[in-house]
A = this chain, B = another copy of it.
């Protein structure tokens, strides 16, 4: 009800196409390192597991185009993708939950290349508060909304246990955060104006689990290849 956002309709590009773009981007970075100047849709497809026609369709949503008979210019396509995906836009973030997963994200190499800058860390454990990680001190979580607002942070990253996630989300909303990257296995309740992207690793494990069970059945029939 009331101002339903047409998600499938946004900006012309389709969700499945959008989801493939980061893969193309990574492949282009590799191509740059290898010194390739031109890449064809066939090559881009074979290295990312996508049919060539689909690659071309996906890329047609970007205004940057290829050259018939030649292919795509690696560098300018990479640049166009960075722009389109907003990787060149700096994204300041606050991260809550400085456990192993939180630390992993804080020190993830390559996040900087994607424009992510984690400016503030929060935890509720007194033993963790005050620690300095990657030059960033861990603050008590009750300062979250104040500090987030003060820094003008728009993105919040949740790496706390499931039970604490909803409370953290509420504090983030209070702190003016507009997008949440949620690694806790819970569905969050937030205003419509706040975007939540879920990273549900247990759900992924369930998928893997399903596949293994099915495969094992195959094994029973044809053991050893």
B23, B49, B114: the one contacting A209 at CB < 8 Å is: B114
Interface residues of A (CB under 8 A from B): 10-11, 18-19, 21-23, 25-26, 47-49, 84-87, 89, 91, 99-101, 103-105, 107-111, 114-116, 154-155, 161, 178-179, 181, 185, 187, 193, 195, 197, 199-216, 225
Known interface pairs A11-B214, A211-B195, A215-B179; A25-B110 also in contact (CB < 8 Å) = no
> In angstroms, how far is the closest chain B Cβ from the Cβ of A83?
9
Is there an interface contact between B205 and A114, defined as CB atoms closer than 8 Å?
yes
28 CB < 8 A contacts A-B: A10-B214, A11-B214, A22-B203, A23-B203, A26-B202, A84-B210, A85-B207, A85-B213, A86-B209, A86-B212, A86-B214, A87-B209, A89-B212, A89-B213, A89-B216, A100-B101, A100-B104, A101-B101, A103-B104, A110-B185, A110-B202, A111-B205, A114-B206, A179-B211, A181-B204, A195-B212, A197-B204, A197-B207
Residues of chain B within 8 A (CB-CB) of A107 are: 100
